[in-house]
A and B are shown apart, each in its own frame.
Chain A
């Protein structure tokens, strides 16, 4: 559903991405791994519309697209769960879920911007139910929730609005073991509904558990496209560090 062809990105003289081709299909959970500075976040940000590629093309459902902003990517059904979650801590859960796409009241009042809070609260509960997250009240402020719950809301938000693909940047980086499990469950649940997921993570065991395919970036290039069943965590590590390159040459 989402593909890219020869994506490059320069930041001044720094070549963050050097001709990356990827393809992600319906129902897949694809992991994107690599060492720090390999270009993972850059690639995801380009897909999310937050960055523009220096050259190359992006395809959604076979159609070439270009995003000038995150808003445009979202309109195409690409939702992102950012590393920092992008939640407003002082806003309620339902407000975070609907920010930027608020439900307005009917008629003139609505046109003036009057919010339909009741509907949003109700729909928020539905969204959270769908992703099997339990939060006492959708009126709680996001800042009062635990890391796991906040993660759940960020994922819930993306799932609620995302229709094509979910991009997740380090979704469990700041969480404890128990909470990481919760998020893993969430990812499985979402995937079972058919939405493809591209997952960046440093947590290789988790990547190995969750992702059928694993893409490895090394110094801005895609150097491996591994099937989970065909490799071990140690092998993934060797690709990340580049030692596998030395051994195997530049192969896919």
Chain B
């Protein structure tokens, strides 16, 4: 090797460079945690010639989606199909998701289950699967144009808003003022939760809904607005923070105003941090979605689509949410709705 390096330097260097980079690439593909199969977060339960379902969540580091993955893995194990999960860990955006969608398309999975990060941008990449004969199912979010989808599964946002209203009514004993702390207006998720809440609130004549506040998805902003609202409205009893950032901010604001126990906050989603807030009394209620069930159902419907049992598939599914509050937070039956922080590829919680 030395001789080559000294006498014919160009070639020697080329050989070294290529070898080093090949090793690097090879190592990443094979040596990374434990081997290709584990690293890929895929499972190989199936028999030969089996089905591979690709699941592309919105962002892989979010407990909501981690819970969804766990549900999907459990179902895949039951059905004996392979599951491959791919997604960006750094951003919930079409810019990071679309390259993954395009790349996976080259491997032609049996079916695609996906939470599209944008209702418009993902249309063309996903439609390519449909045109190639691969069924496409959305979970959590969906497209603006859903024509080619085999099914779209979500946890009902309207239902979530209604449940939040009921929870606040329960905590306030049907009396007092409430308001919504919302993130920026515009997404259908937000709109549906607000509509559901407002409609359900009308069922409680003893309670009045004040104007909605907008916190731009900033917990700090939400906290400030909460404290102002408490000062301005002495009869304020409850605030619905309709996503996790808002909920966190509302809880903090109530604490800062010293109104813990007199003003109640209901947040959305049951991530470990939020559950801890609930147990600590900072939040009084959480509306948990059903990501595990979404994931499981997505895999199940994908299986039906691939095996031709299309009659078993419902085109549109809106799952119920669950209200977690101080009374039931320690019950085993409620804890199953907490979101997970780690992925379990065998679908079984440790």
Let me know if chains A and B touch directly in the complex, using CB atoms closer than 8 Å: no
